[in-house]
Every structure is written in structure tokens, then in C-alpha cells.
Amino acid sequence: MAQQLKNEEGATLIPPPKISASRRSAISAAFNFINSIIGSGILGLPYALSQAGLPLGLLFLIIVAFITDYSIILLIKGGNLSGTNSYQALVQSTFGFPGFLVLSALQFLYPFIAMISYNITTGDTLTKVFQRIPGVGPGHILAERHFVILLSTVAFTLPLSLYRNIEKLGKVSLLSMVLTMAILITVIIRAATLGPQIPPTEDAWVFAKANAIQAAGIMSFAFICHHNSFLIYGSLEQPTIASWTRVTHVSVGSALIISAAFAVAGYTTFTGYTQGDIFENYCKDDNLATFGRFCFGLSIVTTFPLECFVTREVLSNVLCCRELTRAEHAGLTVLIVTACTSMSLAFDCLGVVLELNGVLSATPLIFIIPSACFLKLSPGRWFQGENLIPSILILTGVFVMITGLTMTGLYPQDCSHGVEMFYCADANVSGTVPPA
């Protein structure tokens, strides 16, 4: 019989309850899940509301979150039905080698472009932060975006990307969530203090605008996390549909609350002047915005490794179809990170590319492929019983892809990278103190 612990008065002490391994793995999975959703795409959500209209944009955001939640669970159900444990294996078992190649291309393209955008965002954001340090001017090395990208890659993103177990990123993802909450608080404060000083545009509060489908593509880009769902599912101590459903509901629900608050606060501050990167709207001399930029730069650095995990797995499945050795793991990781860094050094603004990535990569990965796999594996006809919603999602995904691609071509996103907005000439708006 175990010995009981007693205090000085002789009373029996009850030890504090221990957190089970399964609960710890679920918490870690939820942090990784939320972190994979709330990446650089969150910066474009205020712009998405300006494209769709505030009420319709919020409705679209909720719908995209619901579809994301539903299709992620559908994806794992499809994996269980087919006896597979990866997105690629699931599609290959249902649609053969051609389906495997199509999915591999999409599953590689999305996180790879996302990593490029993370590097660009890191360079553009942190250079503005460093220029607020006394003595760091436009010609200083810390104000050079290429140097900042290289520094963050060597010091942070590459070492974190070299991990072999995604569960080890749980604490890093928790840090990213804390930073995201700090960014959200910054945007909300600025909505209250800066928003009243900026006159709203004429159509600021209309219900809907013409570019609503284009906004849906941006939201799909922001919410997609299907490409690493099997990785996170496999990190659970007890990977079951019930435990996965709980983790998914908590993760997507939390991401929706944070995303909606961020989108509304950002849009109501700048209305029709909202840029694709919301931090481009804030003035360079705004100290609070500088703090937000710093937090977001660190948050992006911690999100990069999650996308690298997926990219590496996709390539390893295509190239060798077995577990990589330590040397192969390190070599492939360095190759991926080097390619992303090289491309991010060559490009300055990826506004249109990110929209196309959302429409062409994120939409089929969220709407079409999980639903198509489930319908192929599930008995019964389309539009009947449990096959009804997957059937509707396929049609919706095709519509969003065609319409979004057309709208992006006709009305491409503007990019005013590094250009101060007109209202920054006012010292009170920019957050600076006018000279005596």
C-alpha cells in the first residue's frame, strides 16, 4: 500500500492531480493547430472585410471556419476508412497515382509559398522595428531587410525546423499564441485611439461589396491547416476520432474568435484604406504599432517550422517513400529553408501571389479534396444522408476557385509596401510628439 503524506498536524495531504500524457499531447496538438492557422494570413483578414463588406465578411469568416472544422474531421475519418495515416496516402488510396501527384503539388505549393511570405513579412516588419532603435537609420545593416531575413533564418527558423518530432514545437506554438494575443490587444487599442482620427470611407458600412469571393480566398488562405492535420493527429497520445474532434473544435473555434476580433478591429480603424498587410497602415513612428510589429515578427518566426514540417514530409513521400535518416532529414531541411530564403530575398511584395495561393491551393485542400475522398470511400449517393454536406462543399469549392481566380485577375490586390499613408502627416495620428 502506498505511503500517505501528512502535514505537521497529522492531516493527510492529497497530492495535486497529474496531467495525463494524453491530455498533455492534446494541449500541445491544440497549440500547434492554432499556431498553424494564425500565421501571416491573419494580417490580410481586415483587408478581406474591406473587400467583402463588414457584415458579409464576418459571415464568410464564420462559414470558412465551420467548413475548415468539418473538413478537417472529415479528412481524418477518410484516413481511418482507408487505413492511411497521411493526406497523400489517403488521396492515393482513393484516386490512385494521378490524385497523389496533384495533391502532392498542392500540399507542397501552399506551405512553401507560405514560408516565403513569412520570411518577407519578417524582413519587412522587423526592419521597421529596428529603425526605432536610436542610431539605427535607413542605411544601417539592421534596417536592411535581406540581412534581417538571413539573420532570422540562421538564428531561429532553421534550428527550429530541424526538429524531427512536431510535438516538440508545442511550447514554441504556445509562445506564438501569447505573441498573437499581444498583437490583437495592440490592434484593438489602436482601433479605439487611432480609428476616430481617420475619416471612414464612403462605403465603409455597406452589407456587401463586389469582391466578396476574392475575400473568401483570402480567408481560406488564413484558415487552411489541412496539410499538417495528419502530423498533428499522429502527435496525440490516443489518436481517436473523438479526441481529434475535441482538439479540432477547440483549435478552430479559438482561431475564429482571435481572427474575427483582429479583422474587425483592423477594418474599423482604417475602413476602405485597409491594406493587404494591416501593419502597412500604421505609421512608422507609432510606438504601439512598433511593439505589435515586433510581436508579429517573432510570431511568424515560430510559425515557419510548422510549414517546413509539411513541406519536408511531402517531398520525402514523393522522393523516397520511407523515413528519412538523420543526414537526409537535415539535408532536405536545409535545402527547403535555403530555397525559401533565396526566393524571399528576391521578392518584395507577394500580395497577388498570396491571393492566388488561397484560391488555387487552399480552396481545393479545404473544400474539394477531403470531401471527394470521403464520398469515394463512403457508401451511398451524393446529396443523401451524411454525403450531403461533402457534396455541397465540392460545388462550393469549384465556384470559389473559378470566381476567385477571375476576380483576382480583374481586380488584383494593391501593394503600397513601405509607403506612408496620408494621415501619418498628422503628429497625433502617427503617435509622435511634435517638436517644440
Q: Which three cell numbers mark 159?
A: 534550428
pLDDT of residue 222: 80
Contact at 8 Å (CB) between 429 and 423? yes
**Residue 88: what residue type?**
Q
pLDDT of residue 352: 63
Backbone angles phi, psi at 6, to 5 degrees: -130, 150
Residue 404: its H or E element: helix 388-410
Contact at 8 Å (CB) between 40 and 300? yes
How confident is the model over 310-362, as pLDDT tens digits? Answer: 888 888 878 776 677 888 888 999 999 999 898 888 776 655 666 677 777 88
pLDDT of residue 337: 92
Answer yes or no: is pLDDT of 212 > 60.
yes
pTM over 0.75: yes
Residue partners of 68: CB distance under 8 A and separation at least 6: 37, 223, 224, 225, 226, 252, 366
Residue ranges with strand state E in 282-354: none
pLDDT of residue 399: 87
pLDDT-derived band at 24, boundaries 50, 70, 90? low
pLDDT-derived band at 17, boundaries 50, 70, 90? very low
How confident is the model over 137-164, as pLDDT tens digits? Answer: 777 888 888 898 899 899 888 888 888 7
CA–centroid distance for 31 within its chain? 12
Domain 35-431 sits in CATH at 1.20.1740.10
pLDDT of residue 61: 93
How confident is the model over 227-279, as pLDDT tens digits? Answer: 778 878 877 777 788 888 888 899 899 889 989 999 999 999 999 888 877 88
Contact at 8 Å (CB) between 361 and 398? no
Answer yes or no: is pLDDT of 416 > 60.
no
DSSP string, 46-115: HHHHHHH-HHHHHHHHHHHHHHHHHHHHHHHHHHHHHT--SHHHHHHHHHHHHHHHHHHHHHHHHHHHHH
All structural domains of the chain with their residue ranges: 35-431
- State mean pLDDT over 37-62: 86
- State mean pLDDT over 385-408: 83
pLDDT of residue 59: 94
